[in-house]
């Protein structure tokens, strides 16, 4: 076995993702005064560009933070102590968002679902119809659950809320979908969209942001949870926005470049590329599954299969960490299973700066790693992906 480290590392984690050369070069620039007109041009372009990616013409607030910071902003700005939110169970990330809400003094009720199925719009509608006193103030839904490789029907959830004539705010985490899978904040009636820089936007971790509807902005004027660093009322101070401290100018140099890349390719083409890569990956996994002896797709709902990340369920009695370890020896990094899925699944991140040779290299290397680690599987996964891609 080759355990050397020649050649390029293959990075297929579902975040952070590969950072394109163009972005890396743009970030390797001297510092700039963030009030200088040259920087203000970059700042304004980034602000407007990110709103185009979110498909919103309402409001946007950007924070120097991880995605957790944007989650926190989504809670502290619109709720008051003791408010009730309804969290659509999707996996590790819906649990984390709910836990955070509770830590901040909000009550979080989970609408339960199996992680390989997700909550239906009908279940949401039924729960909201039962809430005749409109105690629920927010519905929290992770658009793309990175832990399970499932994309949830946010537009369908909005329809369910409207059908139930329920006034709660719709909040959607778009951290592992934005810039990879279509997300339409205004059309889908999302009141708070939560995003981060390190996935489809192809940047390092370090910027969190929230798209904010006029309705959510109005709610923020009444909300009484303590807040300072992430307070929209402060951030509204300057155009395009104020910052809670020094502006992270290098993150904006990178964002400026990645938004140009997305706009040059065209957002719809970016989504089409991710759809192709998602399907090619799934074809490979299905081929590895063989007659049932090999790994299989974790997500069990065909029209919810994610085009940015695939969670692969290991055959009974085999440890996903052994496979990940074997892959690492070949310089291929894959995502692991989180909490209750630890050891049971591995995750292939196929989002961001990616082309066919990279994807096929990763799929072939997963097959190689399965052989070395003695994981039962049928061969032919990479061939299945090639056959599909060649026809597209």
According to CB under 6 A, which one of 11, 15, 207, 281 is a site residue for ligand PLP? 15
Contact yes or no for 146/181 (Cβ under 8 A): no
Please state, in angstroms and rounded to a whole number, the distance separating the CA atoms of residues 310 and 385: 14
Cα-based distances in Å from 304 to 94, 235, 278, 299, 301: 16, 36, 12, 8, 5
Q: How far is the CB of 131 from ligand PLP (least distance, A)?
A: 26
- How is residue 218 written in tokens? 């109005």
Q: Does 68 bind ligand PLP (CB under 6 A)?
A: yes
Q: Does 337 bind ligand PLP (CB under 6 A)?
A: no
Q: How far is the CB of 96 from ligand PLP (least distance, A)?
A: 7
Please state, in angstroms and rounded to a whole number, the distance separating the CA atoms of residues 339 and 96: 11
Specify the residue, 125 or 172, whose C-beta has the smaller distance to ligand PLP: 172
Q: Does 175 bind ligand PLP (CB under 6 A)?
A: yes
User: What is the x/- site pattern for ligand PLP, positions 260-279, by CB under 6 A?
Assistant: --------------------
Please state, in angstroms and rounded to a whole number, the distance separating the CA atoms of residues 51 and 374: 47
Q: How far is the CB of 254 from ligand PLP (least distance, A)?
A: 15
Please state, in angstroms and rounded to a whole number, the distance separating the CA atoms of residues 362 and 382: 9
According to CB under 6 A, which residues from 204 to 263 bind ligand PLP?
205
Selected range binding ligand PLP among 36-44, 66-74, 284-292, 310-318, rule: CB under 6 A: 66-74
According to CB under 6 A, which one of 67, 138, 248, 337 is a site residue for ligand PLP? 67
According to CB under 6 A, which one of 146, 256, 258, 365 is a site residue for ligand PLP? 146
Residue closest to ligand PLP (Cβ)? 67
- How is residue 103 written in tokens? 């830590």
Q: How far is the CB of 194 from ligand PLP (least distance, A)?
A: 7
User: What is the x/- site pattern for ligand PLP, positions 91-110, by CB under 6 A?
Assistant: --x-----------------
According to CB under 6 A, which one of 89, 116, 173, 182 is a site residue for ligand PLP? 173
Q: Does 118 bind ligand PLP (CB under 6 A)?
A: no
Size of the site for ligand PLP (CB under 6 A): 12
Contact yes or no for 2/330 (Cβ under 8 A): yes
Please state, in angstroms and rounded to a whole number, the distance separating the CA atoms of residues 113 and 389: 34
Contact yes or no for 186/55 (Cβ under 8 A): yes
Specify the residue, 201 or 386, whose C-beta has the smaller distance to ligand PLP: 201
Q: How far is the CB of 173 from ligand PLP (least distance, A)?
A: 5
According to CB under 6 A, which one of 139, 142, 332, 351 is a site residue for ligand PLP? 142
Q: How far is the CB of 207 from ligand PLP (least distance, A)?
A: 10
Give the list of residues 6+ apart from residue 339 with CB closer than 8 angstroms, or none.
Answer: 92, 95, 147
* Number of CB atoms found within 10 A of residue 302's CB: 8
Selected range binding ligand PLP among 64-72, 252-260, 283-291, 373-381, rule: CB under 6 A: 64-72
207-212: strand order across its sheet: 59-64, 207-212, 192-196, 169-173, 136-142, 84-88, 107-111
Contact yes or no for 326/369 (Cβ under 8 A): yes
Q: Does 176 bind ligand PLP (CB under 6 A)?
A: yes
Contact yes or no for 63/272 (Cβ under 8 A): no
Please, where are the H alpha helices in 197-266? 214-222, 232-235, 249-265
Binding region for ligand PLP (CB under 6 A): 15, 66-68, 93, 142, 146, 173, 175-176, 196, 205
């Amino acid at each position: 076995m080759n355990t050397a480290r020649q050649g390029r590392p293959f990075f297929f984690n579902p975040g952070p993702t590969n950072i394109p050369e163009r972005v890396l070069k743009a970030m390797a620039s001297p510092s700039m005064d963030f009030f200088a007109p040259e920087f203000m041009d970059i700042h304004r372009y980034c602000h407007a560009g990110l709103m185009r990616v979110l498909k919103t013409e309402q409001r946007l607030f950007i924070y120097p933070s991880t995605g957790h910071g944007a989650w926190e902003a989504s809670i502290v700005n619109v709720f008051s102590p003791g408010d009730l939110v309804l969290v659509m169970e999707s996996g590790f990330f819906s649990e984390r968002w709910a836990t955070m809400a509770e830590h901040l003094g909000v009550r979080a009720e989970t609408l339960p679902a199996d992680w390989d199925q997700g909550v239906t719009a009908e279940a949401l509608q039924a729960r909201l119809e039962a809430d005749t006193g409109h105690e629920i103030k927010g519905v929290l839904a992770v658009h793309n659950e990175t832990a399970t490789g499932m994309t949830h029907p946010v537009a369908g959830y909005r329809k369910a809320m409207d059908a139930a004539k329920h006034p709660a705010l719709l909040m959607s985490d778009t951290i592992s979908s934005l810039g990879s899978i279509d997300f339409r904040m205004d059309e889908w009636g999302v009141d708070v969209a939560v995003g981060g820089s390190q996935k489809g936007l192809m940047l390092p971790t370090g910027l969190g942001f929230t798209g904010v509807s006029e309705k959510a902005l109005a709610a923020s004027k009444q909300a009484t949870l303590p807040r300072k660093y992430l307070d929209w009322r402060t951030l509204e101070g300057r155009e395009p926005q104020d910052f809670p401290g020094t502006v992270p100018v290098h993150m904006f140099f990178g964002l400026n470049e990645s938004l140009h890349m997305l706009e040059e390719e065209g957002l719809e083409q970016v989504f089409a590329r991710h759809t192709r890569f998602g399907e090619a990956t799934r074809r490979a996994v299905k081929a590895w599954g063989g007659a049932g002896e090999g790994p299989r797709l974790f997500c069990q709902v065909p029209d919810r299969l994610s085009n940015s990340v695939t969670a692969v369920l290991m055959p009974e009695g085999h440890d996903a960490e052994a496979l990940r370890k074997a892959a690492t020896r070949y310089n291929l990094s894959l995502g692991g299973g989180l909490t209750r899925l630890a050891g049971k699944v591995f995750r292939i991140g196929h989002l961001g700066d990616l082309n066919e040779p990279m994807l096929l290299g990763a799929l072939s290397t997963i097959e190689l790693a399965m052989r070395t680690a003695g994981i039962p599987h049928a061969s032919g996964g990479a061939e299945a992906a090639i056959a599909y891609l060649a026809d597209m």
